[in-house]
Structure formats: C-alpha cells, structure tokens
Amino acid sequence: MRILVVNVNTTQSITDSIGEQAAGAASPGTEIVPLTPSFGAESVEGNYESYLAAVAVMEAVRAYTEPFDAVIQAGYGEHGREGLQELLDVPVVDITEAAASTAQFLGRSYSVVTSLDRTVPLIEERLHVAGLSARCASVRASGLAVLDLERDERVAVDAIVEQAARAVEDDRAEVICLGCGGMSGLTERVAERTGVPVVDGVSAAVTIAESLVRLGLSTSKVRTYAPPRPKRMVNWPPVGEGRP
Amino acid sequence: MRILVVNVNTTQSITDSIGEQAAGAASPGTEIVPLTPSFGAESVEGNYESYLAAVAVMEAVRAYTEPFDAVIQAGYGEHGREGLQELLDVPVVDITEAAASTAQFLGRSYSVVTSLDRTVPLIEERLHVAGLSARCASVRASGLAVLDLERDERVAVDAIVEQAARAVEDDRAEVICLGCGGMSGLTERVAERTGVPVVDGVSAAVTIAESLVRLGLSTSKVRTYAPPRPKRMVNWPPVGEGRP
Amino acid sequence: MRILVVNVNTTQSITDSIGEQAAGAASPGTEIVPLTPSFGAESVEGNYESYLAAVAVMEAVRAYTEPFDAVIQAGYGEHGREGLQELLDVPVVDITEAAASTAQFLGRSYSVVTSLDRTVPLIEERLHVAGLSARCASVRASGLAVLDLERDERVAVDAIVEQAARAVEDDRAEVICLGCGGMSGLTERVAERTGVPVVDGVSAAVTIAESLVRLGLSTSKVRTYAPPRPKRMVNWPPVGEGRP
Amino acid sequence: MRILVVNVNTTQSITDSIGEQAAGAASPGTEIVPLTPSFGAESVEGNYESYLAAVAVMEAVRAYTEPFDAVIQAGYGEHGREGLQELLDVPVVDITEAAASTAQFLGRSYSVVTSLDRTVPLIEERLHVAGLSARCASVRASGLAVLDLERDERVAVDAIVEQAARAVEDDRAEVICLGCGGMSGLTERVAERTGVPVVDGVSAAVTIAESLVRLGLSTSKVRTYAPPRPKRMVNWPPVGEGRP
Amino acid sequence: MRILVVNVNTTQSITDSIGEQAAGAASPGTEIVPLTPSFGAESVEGNYESYLAAVAVMEAVRAYTEPFDAVIQAGYGEHGREGLQELLDVPVVDITEAAASTAQFLGRSYSVVTSLDRTVPLIEERLHVAGLSARCASVRASGLAVLDLERDERVAVDAIVEQAARAVEDDRAEVICLGCGGMSGLTERVAERTGVPVVDGVSAAVTIAESLVRLGLSTSKVRTYAPPRPKRMVNWPPVGEGRP
Amino acid sequence: MRILVVNVNTTQSITDSIGEQAAGAASPGTEIVPLTPSFGAESVEGNYESYLAAVAVMEAVRAYTEPFDAVIQAGYGEHGREGLQELLDVPVVDITEAAASTAQFLGRSYSVVTSLDRTVPLIEERLHVAGLSARCASVRASGLAVLDLERDERVAVDAIVEQAARAVEDDRAEVICLGCGGMSGLTERVAERTGVPVVDGVSAAVTIAESLVRLGLSTSKVRTYAPPRPKRMVNWPPVGEGRP
C-alpha cells in the first residue's frame, strides 16, 4: 500500500520530518511518499497561506503520476481536504481530524496545542466543520512559529508542555493533540512530561488511512465529494509539475 | 467610493451581470468595479473549484493597482473571504453572509435557494462558519447549473420559485436568499411570485460595504485577520496580471 | 427618507444624544426623527422596565402621525422589536442586532460592553433569540448605570475600555460593540484606546435601515410578523398621545 | 397557601376556565385566585398582544392588595415572566415552562400543540430562552384561534388530536403539552385518544408553585431578577386598579 | 401515596439520611420507603460503580413486593433512570434532574456542587442527556469523597460554600444544586452562607413525584420506555432478594 | 496482539458471527478473542437490558485471565464503555463510536440503520455523549429484532437497504453505518445496493483498536477514567467466572 503524505508548507525539511514520522507509524508493507508543494509559503500560518496551500497540495497530488492508495494532508487546521476528496477515488485523511478522532477514543475531552495564536481560529473552524468540536476542550497556542519548532527542540517542548498542562488543569482536557505537522517528532517528550496521552496527527492519520484501505472504504461520491463536473478551466491546471 | 466586486467564476458574462446588479444597488458616488479572476473554472460548483477560486479572487484583487475602498466576493458559499481579510485593510464582504445577515432583519428565519444539490453543503458550512446558521431554515437546490441560469430565465425563475415556495411552506422560512451570484437579476420576479422578501446577495453586499466605509469601520487586525507574516513565498505570487 | 429612532428610556437628554449620533451616521437626504416614549423608566436596566419600554416604544410609534420609512429601536438588549415588526409595514432595526450583525463583518468574534451587570443576561438572550450569539465572545458589564454614562465621560470611557481590553485579551473578541444607547458618543475614544473596531449600534442601525429601504425590502408578513388579527382590545390603545 | 393565576387574555370566561382547572389541581388548603388583566387583547395571539399582556399581567399582580404565596402566568409562549420575577419575592411559574419541565419527566421528548400557526415561533423562542428546547420534538399548530377553542370542544379536540398524533408518529414525541391556557379542560380527552401522556400547563404549574412554596424556595435575587433599581418612572404605574 | 427512595450506595447510613430528608419534604399522607441496594459499592464515585448501581437499584425495586406509586433514584449523576422507566408503570424521578428542573424555576442559571472532581463529567453527561444543560453554568467539585460528607459536616459545608461562591461569582450561577445524595442535610446551612437559593435533589424529587402522581401522569410507553420485550434472560434476575 | 471482542447479548451465535467479522478485519498477528457475557438478555434491545449488559460485559472482561491488548464492546448504542475504560489500562473501543468515527472520514454526514425503533434513542444518546452527533444525519430503524437478523438474511438486507436509501435521499446521508453487532455480515450486500460506503462497526473497531495499540496510546487516567477508588464492595464481584 502506498500513502502520499503531503506537507502544506514548501519547506523541505518539514516534509522530511513529517515523512519520517509517518514512516515510523506505518505497518510493514506500507510505503510512505512525502510530497512538498511546488508553490506557496515556507510555513503556513494564516488563511491566505492556507488557501494557497490547499490549491498547492491538490496540484502536488495531481502531478504525482504513480498509483497510490490514500492521501494524508499533513497540515493542522488547514483548508483543502474537501477538494482532495472530490478529485480522488482513494481515501483522504486530514491530520487535524485524524488527531481529534483518535483523541476521542482516549479521553472524554481533548485540547490542541498549536504554534501561533493567530492559527487558533483556523483549527477551531476546521474542527467545527469536521463535527469534532463537541469534545474539544480548547485550542491553545504555544507562541512558537512553525519554523521556530525546528530550531530548538527543548524550547519547543517547554512551550508546548506549559500549554498542555494548563489545558489539562484549567480546560479539563484529558488528551493533548499536537497541533502542527512540524511538532510530530516531539510527541513522546510531551507525553512524558504531561502524564496524559499525546496524539500526533501524522501518525494517527497513517493508521487511519491504512485502516480505510484495508476495510475497502473510500470517500462517498453521492453528493458533496462527487468528482468536479466537466467544464472549461481557464489557465488551469498550471503547466508542468504542478507549478503555476 | 470605489468597490471591487469580484466574480468567482471566470465567465465574463456572469461578471457583467453581477456588476450591473451591484451598480443598481450602489449609492450615487459609488463606483463599482467588477473583476473576473484570471484563472479557474468557468463556473464554480464544488470544493475543488471553490478553493481554486478563493486563490484566484485574492490574486485578482492583488493585481488591481488602483485604490479602492471595499471588496465584495460575489460567490455564494465559496471559500476565501478570510484570506482577503488578511490581505486587505479595507472591508471585505461576502455575498453569502451579506444576504443572510440582511435576511435576518426581515423575518424570523430564511432559506437559501441555490443552483445544484452538490453546492448545498458548501453553503451550509459557510453559514455555519460565519455564525449565521441559527436562523437558516434550509438550503435548497433548484437543480440548475450556474451556466443554465443564463440560458432561459423563465425556466430558472420557475425552478427557484418552486423551491422557495417549499421553503416557506415546509421549512417555515419567512425570507428567501438567492444563493448564486448568477441569480442576481431574478430577485424581483421571484419576490412577486412567492410573496415573501427575496434578498439578492450582491445588492445586499453593496449596501453593507458602503455602510462600513461610511462608518469608518474595517476588518479587525488583532488576531485572525492580521496581515500575513513576512516570509519566503515559493513560486508565488504568479508572474504578471494575477495569472499563474 | 425619514427614519424614526426611538429611545427606550424616558430621559430626553438620552434621546437627544441618540438622535445626534443617528443624524451623524445618516446619508444626505435622510431625516432622523428621535422619539421619547411617553411613559416608562427614566433609564431601562432590567426586565420589568424593558417590557414596559417595549410597549411604550410601540405606542410612541403608533402615536406618530407623519409618514416614515423605517424605525430603529434604540435600546440595547431590550424587548419589543418583534411587536413593532407586526405593527408596521416598514423595516424595523434593533440596535442590539444592528451592532452584532455589523461586528460580524469585521472580525471572527465580538464582545459587547454594556452598563450594569444585571443587564448582561438580557443582552445575551436577545442575541440568542436573534440568532447572533454564535460569534459573541462575551457580554461584559462596565458597572456604570445608564444615567452615569452622561455624568462623566472620562470615567465612562475608562470603565468601558477596561472591559473591552479584557474581552479582547481573555475572551478573544476581535470587535467591540458598545452595549447601551447612551454610549453612542464614546465610540471613537474607545476605538482609539483598544486598537480594535468599535461598533455603535445606533450608527450601524441607521445604515442598515437606509440599506433596507433603498433595496425595497421590509419585514416578511408571512407568519411570525403578520399584522395583529382584528380583535377587541380592552382599555387599549391608551387615550391621547401615546400616554396610558 | 394562596396562588394567583393570571390570565394573559382579557376574556373573563377564559379566566374562569383556567381558574377551575387550577383549583382542580391544587392541594387541599391551597386557595387559587384567578386574575384577569385590566387592559389588553381579548385573546393573545402574537408579539404585540403578548408584550402588552406582559405589562398588563404585571400591573394586575401589582394591583392585587392581599398577600399571596406564588404567581402563575397562565399564557402559553407569552412574554413577561422575567419581569414578574423582578417585581416579586414569591415564586413565579410560567405555564409554558411548567408543562415542558413536567413533560421531561415523562418521556424522552415532547411536542407542544398550540392554537394558530403564528404563535408557534413565540412558543419556540420562550422554550429556547428557558433552556427547555433540547428535548422539544416540535411545536405544532391546531389552526384554531384561542376563542374558537371555547366554541366547539369536539372540533377543538379533533384538531388537537390530529396534530398530536403526527407529533408522536412523525416528530417522535413521547409526550404532548397542550400549548394554550384555553385548552386546559381538554387534557383527558386528548390523552385518551393519543395514548401518550398529555400535560396541561396550568395544572402542572399549580403543583410546581406549591412545591416551591413548600420547599421554601423562591427566585434568586442575585443578578438577573434583582428588584428594579429605585428610579423615576414617567406616567407609570397607571392610576387606579392597574388600569392605564 | 407510597414513594420508594432508592439509594445508589450500599451504605445504610446514607440511606437513612436520604430517607429522613425525603420524609421531611413529603406531604402528609405520603409514605417514604428508603431502599438500599443489595450489592455494589459503599459509595458511588465513577462509571464502573455507577453502572453497577444502576443495575442494583433496578433489582432493589424489583425485589420490593408491596405496591408503590413512584420511585426516586437518589444518586446524583448516576446511570440507570431510563431502565427503571422501562420496568415500571409508575413515575420515576432522578434527583439530578429533579434538582436541575427545580433550579430552573428559580434563576436564569444554576451550578451543581458535587463531591469529587472525577464525578463532574458524569453529572455533566446526565444533564446533557436529560436536556437540562443549557442553563447549567458549571458543575464544580468540593473535593470531598461521598463518605467524607458524613464525617465532619462543618468541613463539608465550608468546602461546598467555597465552590458555590465561586459558581455565583465566576460562572454567573444564580442557584446552587447540591450534587450528591449525601449532601441532603446541608441545604439550609449552604443557603444561609451563599445568599442564593440552594436546591436539594432529594426534596425536589419528592415534590415532583408527588405532583406527577396527583396529576395522574406517568412515563410514556410509546417508544423509548416501552416495557422490555419478552425474551430469554440468562442467569438473571438473580436469585433471592435482589442479590446476585 | 490480542483483542477481546465482547458481545453484549448472551446469544452464542451472535458472538460467533461478531468474532468472525472481527477476525476478517484483523491484521496478521492479531488474535481476536470473542467473549459472551455470563448473564443478561439473549438480545439487548432497550435500556434495562443495556444497563445489565454493561455490567455483564465488564464482568466478562474481568473474568478473562489471560493478558490482552485492547477491548472492543460489540453492542451498538449500548451503555458501559466508560466503565470498561476505568477498569482497564488497555484501549477500549465501542463499535457505535468506531463506526461513526470511521464514517466521518468518508462523507460529510452519515446515518445509522439499526434494528428496532425503540433502540433509536439509545443510539442517538450514545452518539451525543461521544461527541459524534454533529454529522449524524439520522438514526433509522429497519424494524427487525436482533434475533430476526439471523433468521433470513435476504429479508434483513431488504429492510436495511430500504432505510439506507431513504437516509441518503431524504436525510442527505452520504455514508451508512450498520447499527447492530448482528448486522456485521451484511455490509457488502448493503453497500452494493445503496451505492454509498457502508461501515460495519465491528470491523472498524478492530482497525482502531489495532491502531491505538500500535501507536502506544491508551485511555487517559487523569480524571474521568481514573481507576475506581479502593473501597468496600458489597456482594460484588460475583463469585466464579463472572457469574452473579
């Protein structure tokens, strides 16, 4: 089974780290193919960048010419999953939803700890749209920009643990989701220091994608995610390798 | 005052019709500038096309070099308004929200009559995200594709009136919103035949945009819609006139 | 176009201040007619007084014998708007709803800063009934009685700004609505000191009423706001000039 | 113990019928005092009339000079209960809430069958404000005006039973509340023909008012229902026997 | 009239205290029969113990061979009420719901003060299922285990009052429900010290059960609470006096 | 990895069928151990039987003396999952939640088709408690008792398909969950005839349980699902093999 794991940022090192995390969660026999969009922001931290990433991720998947069995959109709180579901016959799993859905099996409520304060509303809205907000205790910002996460892991873990602890104590969360693709590698250290289960969305998404494939299930095409109707597209898709 | 009214479809005749409708609703002294995106689908009827339109609309506005006072996104149930709000200092008004917001002053509940069944969920989600769904009685599809609306207005009016009547009778709507930029010219005929107020989103958006400008109000920059952080963009913005 | 702006309090100086604020927001050619109820409390700060004001406002409008194009109910969180909608064919705009509806175009969430703590629940319930509470971050009391607002504007601005700042910081509001007709004149000073858009309900209501009139839209008469059925009224309407 | 049961309509025969129903539900030793407002509509069927009734009921209670232990507002879906709670130290029970609250002990969901279609929204909003709508399956109109209920009981029972049956079958209600003070005498006949528990709000309110008095409980005065602040009232209260 | 009041804990002294409280609230002519389950935990403080108590309570009622008119389940936030409703033709009243329902007549919002932090979620879920959570301001834990409540009443009252005060001040509750059958005797002392109405669920349940019996109302058998279908039960009911 | 799959009914043939379905979905190396409770109803179709099953399932798991890695509760809409989570350190997966959670990755909304009408409310409440009801379009009954499902598969498939088709057409479901452990074997036939993805809860639960184990995640013990406190249990646990 081959699963595409698509970064929403155009920074290759993040793609590498996400790919590594995904591979670590995959079953024997699953091939993880990490993809980087050919256009967009080096780090996605807001609506403009996220809408652009939505399109870039779709084009990256369309430009991939080998067969594959499932796609993971590896951005937390980002737009675009619904478009991928229209374009593809194979299952599409968003890491925001994968993490929340997994967390709900582990405790009565969960919180998300993400990067910057400005991304909190995006995550809240995506959970709302996905029908996964009823048991979300809070979405909290660590204050770290996406690219800062890579710079000093100790600082990153400290900032995340601080917010996770407040989520457990003040917001009554019982599980923590790491709300940024770039936090994937920090799961264990955060779990050790908070004493509650910590869910990494990338790993969770890999197991869910594998499960859907194994169960022979894929996106319903009956209404919302039916394939786009045939029509004239102006100046799109972009020419060559998914690049506009 | 100059207001940009941006079509989400790349079909010029729809832009013309939207522009005409907007001009009809504008106050003396307001200049309406209709814009057509330089890339994307001839008609937007689904998530893939809508995400693409979101980006195309943003680039169309960025490519406009004259000063302007407000922007109207003239697509019903489409993605993207939040991105425009980040990019701009002037008010941004989405016609989905303008219509619903206006309808709420006219009756206890409203319904939206849109084009195809597959676009119903998009509209529902946008109203949900906008916090305008509590008084939405239903979103109903006329079964007409966006481009069909232009072909035979009598057929279009009949199909819309049929659903509007059911919304009033069965769903207990008291106001009807026409849920497609391309329906703008049909408002009066639908109102005559249904006996309830009928709101055209484009016209409503023009009055709201004018009001915000007159009141000196614009998008809050304190958190969600703060300008994008300065960062490296890969292969973007596209070169030349907003075209990828 | 003539718009009646009806104070809910029987204090003439508040009517004057509301009228002035409304006139400042009106377009050229719009005549603002401020009205004071002929009976009721000098300041409305609770349910008993608010129900009484609801009836007094309706009688004040009924006693007005000249033609008019729209009515604004200029009390924040007060009862009665639905009754006016039954009695009149012209649009009715409540300032609570006008402010919230306008705020929703400016940010992802808004807070209301009002006068006394005891009026907070009334505002919350009116927003709830109006379907405008989903994006309401909080309703906060400044602790100032309605009549205190007129006594020392500096004290009033300080008290409002303190709560507005906490709404932005703690409740994550992005826009502030001034929740009392008597606060109308303070908008600019509060906006300067908080750094977020501040909406005055009276001004917002004027632009909305003008917009509805210009668009030829008025209250749906199909169900909830149909005219009262003809029937015997006992000892009502009161005799002479709207006075019981 | 003495309980005031206040009609919202100014029709004496309805007061008599409500009083009789209340007396039938009262414990030995409880005195029921039925009151008719001194002004307002002969039958309350809409917002204007309901707001007027709210004030008239409050004045009727204020004009009652003997001591009493509790007050029942005997109008279904009417405004005003909150005002009475401010004015009084004794418990106030609204029949809309009494019926719903009682119904919730009898089945998983309940429906209300009321008089005219136009009163449905008022009842829905009052249940919403009271926090009792989560288990409300539907509010249905029998199509009978309030005064028609008295004319031909057989016709009334038939019309109510028809809607009750649809509520049970289509809306999955398990209990029926009779949604009009004037329906109080029909409870048994409706229950016999529908096979589900039928709750009369007046009777339910009497037992709840008695219970609160026996338990020594009354309205919290800590915030929302604190007594009105001392202030200048203009032309109010009306002179003589609660008449304006 | 005879009302069974069933403790959920197997500790006889708690049954005694609950029975005494119930008897104090009962009308003349009402006989209170307190029952202790024959199996289960000495104090119920979590889901495992609560599910066991649900079954033990049902068996205790089944083992009671005299006629009775109503049943009260005297555990706060416990499972099982729905099962009793299926088994019995007489009304069933849960003290969690009785307290909340009563509190809603006394103020705009209520809080529950319970024993241990771990029982907070159980109470929240039962209120949610019962449709009584819309006006619940908070559920707060005193930190006292059920059996501690009996040890030192002064300590118990202090701990409860502290949380009640925070509920009123911080969560804006206007009424307090004592959220543990074992707190029944402390109502007056807590009320005195908090200045808001305090509701004891056992007392409230007695008046509600009496009211339902007097009104001739009982559980709807039309769907959810229909009697169990006749079927083969394996190794159940247990042999002898409700003991497994 | 060893996963216990516990039937809620005491009918062995259902256990066998569930076990077979689970084994079919398991990865190589996963051992499925099907368990039948030692007491309770032959088929669980209501609250009384469901509460009894909750306890019987817990005792069946406690009586199992070999090590295991996860537990699946294989009853649709049944009580008890929270108790198992308190008792165990390994992950617990309920098939109601597993199916819904999986369905949410496949379409915008899902419906459940279950056995008898009387079980519909139980399923709705469990989805509500689990925070999975926002995208639930409907829960529909096929009208078949649990034991009927085994008698004639063709009749069963017809009845399920009829309701599934109405769920897709009328309720706008995009995915169907088979709402009864006994329906597990019918998934493919229903999927073929409805044209939308059909989720079997047992299979879904197996993949989720495996995923949680592989990711090293288990129930949070920080609050709601902490182990029961040490205390005196009266006449429980039952003596010998989980039998009372």
Do C160 and C131 share a structural domain? Answer: yes
Nearest chain D residue to E94 by CA distance is: D105
pLDDT at E150: 79
In angstroms, the separation between the Cα of residue D41 and the nearest Cα of chain C is 4
User: Which letter does DSSP use for residue D3 in this model?
Assistant: E
Report the residue count for chain C: 244
Amino acid in position D183: M
Do F73 and F104 share a structural domain? Answer: no
Give domain status of residue F46, yes or no: yes
Do B192 and B154 share a structural domain? Answer: yes
pLDDT at B186: 93
Tell me how crowded residue B120 is: count the other CB atoms within 10 A of its CB: 22
Interface test with F, best of A95, A105, A222 (most F CBs within 10 A): A105
Report the residue count for chain E: 244
What average pLDDT score do residues D161-166 get? 98
CATH number at residue E47: 3.40.50.12500
Nearest chain F residue to A97 by CA distance is: F105
pLDDT bucket at E240, cuts 50 / 70 / 90:
low
The two beta strands, C175-179 and C110-114, are parallel
Whether the per-residue pLDDT at D165 is higher than 60: the answer is: yes
Amino acid in position B81: R
pLDDT bucket at B142, cuts 50 / 70 / 90:
very high
Cβ-based contacts of F50 with chain E (< 8 Å): 83
Do F86 and F127 share a structural domain? Answer: no
pLDDT at D86: 98
High-pLDDT (> 70) share of chain C, %:
98
- B90 touching chain A per CB within 8 A: no
Which B residues, 4 through 33, put their C-beta within 8 Å of a C-beta on chain C? 25, 27
In angstroms, the separation between the Cα of residue A235 and the nearest Cα of chain F is 30
What CA–CA distance (Å, rounded) separates E242 from C128?
49
The token pair at D160 is 């109510």
Do E191 and E102 share a structural domain? Answer: yes
Q: Please name the chains neighbouring F, where neighbouring means 3+ C-beta pairs under 8 angstroms.
A: A, E
Whether the per-residue pLDDT at E241 is higher than 70: the answer is: no
Which A residues, 29 through 88, put their C-beta within 8 Å of a C-beta on chain F? none
Give domain status of residue D233, yes or no: no
Do E78 and E15 share a structural domain? Answer: yes
In angstroms, the separation between the Cα of residue B219 and the nearest Cα of chain C is 4
The two beta strands, E198-200 and E175-179, are parallel
Q: Residue holding tokens 């418990």?
A: D91
What CA–CA distance (Å, rounded) separates D42 from D9?
5
High-pLDDT (> 90) share of chain B, %:
91
Give domain status of residue E149, yes or no: yes
Q: Residue holding tokens 């719903």?
A: D100
Do E105 and E183 share a structural domain? Answer: yes
Q: Are D71 and D90 in contact (CB under 8 A)?
A: yes
What average pLDDT score do residues E26-49 get? 97
Do B133 and B149 share a structural domain? Answer: yes
User: Which letter does DSSP use for residue E156 in this model?
Assistant: H
Nearest chain F residue to E239 by CA distance is: F244
In angstroms, the separation between the Cα of residue E7 and the nearest Cα of chain F is 14
Interface test with A, best of F72, F101, F105 (most A CBs within 10 A): F105
What average pLDDT score do residues F98-127 get? 97
Do D113 and D78 share a structural domain? Answer: no
**Interface contact D43-C231, CB threshold 8 A:** yes
Which B residues, 182 through 221, put their C-beta within 8 Å of a C-beta on chain C? 195-197, 199, 203-204, 207-208, 210-212, 214-215, 217-220
What average pLDDT score do residues F59-85 get? 97
Q: Are D112 and D104 in contact (CB under 8 A)?
A: no
Q: Please name the chains neighbouring D, where neighbouring means 3+ C-beta pairs under 8 angstroms.
A: C, E
Give domain status of residue A234, yes or no: no
Nearest chain A residue to B221 by CA distance is: A118
Compare CB distances from A223 to F101, F172, F219 and report the shortest one's residue.
F172
**Interface contact B133-C134, CB threshold 8 A:** yes
Give domain status of residue A240, yes or no: no
Interface test with D, best of E220, E224, E225 (most D CBs within 10 A): E220
Cβ-based contacts of C21 with chain B (< 8 Å): none
**Interface contact A50-B234, CB threshold 8 A:** no
What CA–CA distance (Å, rounded) separates A214 from A205?
14
Whether the per-residue pLDDT at A210 is higher than 70: the answer is: yes
pLDDT at D243: 52
- C133 touching chain D per CB within 8 A: no
- What is the rounded average pLDDT for all residues in chain E? 95
Give domain status of residue E80, yes or no: yes
What average pLDDT score do residues A35-58 get? 97
Q: Are E200 and E183 in contact (CB under 8 A)?
A: yes
What CA–CA distance (Å, rounded) separates A150 from D231?
64
Nearest to B175 by CA among E98, A139, C218, C76: C218
Whether the per-residue pLDDT at F242 is higher than 70: the answer is: no
Give domain status of residue C116, yes or no: yes
Give domain status of residue D220, yes or no: no
Our CA angle for D60, D64, D67, nearest 5°, is 140
Q: Could you give phi then psi for residue E92, rounded to 5 degrees?
A: -120, 130
Whether the per-residue pLDDT at F151 is higher than 90: the answer is: no
Quick: pLDDT tens for C95-113: 999 999 999 999 999 999 9
Using the Cα atoms of residue F25, residue F27, residue F33 and residue F39 in order, give the sign of their dihedral. Answer: negative
Interface test with D, best of E217, E219, E223 (most D CBs within 10 A): E217
pLDDT at D146: 85
Cβ-based contacts of C52 with chain D (< 8 Å): 55, 83, 236
The token pair at D163 is 């809607």
Whether the per-residue pLDDT at F239 is higher than 80: the answer is: no
What CA–CA distance (Å, rounded) separates E134 from F73?
31
Whether the per-residue pLDDT at C243 is higher than 60: the answer is: no
Do E192 and E119 share a structural domain? Answer: yes
Our CA angle for A95, A98, A99, nearest 5°, is 85
Whether the per-residue pLDDT at B107 is higher than 80: the answer is: yes
- What is the rounded average pLDDT for all residues in chain A? 95
Domain count, chain C: 2
Report the residue count for chain D: 244
Whether the per-residue pLDDT at A53 is higher than 80: the answer is: yes
DSSP secondary structure string for all residues of D57-84: HHHHHHH--S--SEEEE--TT-S-HHHH
What CA–CA distance (Å, rounded) separates F79 from F82?
8
What average pLDDT score do residues B26-51 get? 97
Cβ-based contacts of A105 with chain F (< 8 Å): 91, 93, 97, 101, 208, 212
Our CA angle for D6, D10, D13, nearest 5°, is 85
Do E36 and E22 share a structural domain? Answer: yes
List the domain range (segments joined by +) for residue D106: 96-200
pLDDT at A36: 98
Q: Are C175 and C107 in contact (CB under 8 A)?
A: yes
Compare CB distances from D228 to C37, C48, C82 and report the shortest one's residue.
C48
Quick: pLDDT tens for B194-215: 999 999 999 999 999 999 999 9
pLDDT bucket at E132, cuts 50 / 70 / 90:
very high
The token pair at F32 is 């499925």
pLDDT bucket at A185, cuts 50 / 70 / 90:
confident
Nearest to A207 by CA among F24, F204, F28: F204
What average pLDDT score do residues B214-235 get? 97
The token pair at C244 is 């019981």
**Interface contact A102-F133, CB threshold 8 A:** no
For chains B and E, having 3+ Cβ pairs within 8 Å is answered no
**Interface contact A106-F97, CB threshold 8 A:** no
What CA–CA distance (Å, rounded) separates E171 from E55?
35
Instruction: Spell out the long-range contacts of C143-146 with Cβ–Cβ below 8 A and sequence spacing 24 or more.
Output: C143/C115, C143/C116, C143/C117, C144/C115, C144/C116, C145/C43, C145/C45, C145/C115, C145/C116, C145/D229, C146/C9, C146/C14, C146/C43, C146/C44, C146/C45, C146/C115, C146/C116, C146/C180, C146/C182
pLDDT at C224: 97
Q: Please name the chains neighbouring A, where neighbouring means 3+ C-beta pairs under 8 angstroms.
A: B, F
pLDDT at F39: 97
Q: Which run of H or E residues covers position C204?
A: helix C201-214
What average pLDDT score do residues B32-36 get? 98
Cβ-based contacts of F236 with chain E (< 8 Å): 39-41, 52, 244
Cβ-based contacts of E174 with chain D (< 8 Å): 220, 222-225
C-alpha distances (whole Å) from E183 to each of B242, E6, E24, E129 are 70, 15, 15, 23
What CA–CA distance (Å, rounded) separates E27 from F78?
38
Interface test with A, best of F199, F200, F222 (most A CBs within 10 A): F222
Do D112 and D59 share a structural domain? Answer: no
pLDDT at D244: 57
What average pLDDT score do residues C220-228 get? 98
Q: Are F41 and F24 in contact (CB under 8 A)?
A: no
Cβ-based contacts of D43 with chain C (< 8 Å): 231
High-pLDDT (> 90) share of chain E, %:
91
- Tell me how many residue pairs between chain B and chain C have CB atoms under 8 A apart: 135
**Interface contact D234-C39, CB threshold 8 A:** yes
What average pLDDT score do residues B55-76 get? 97
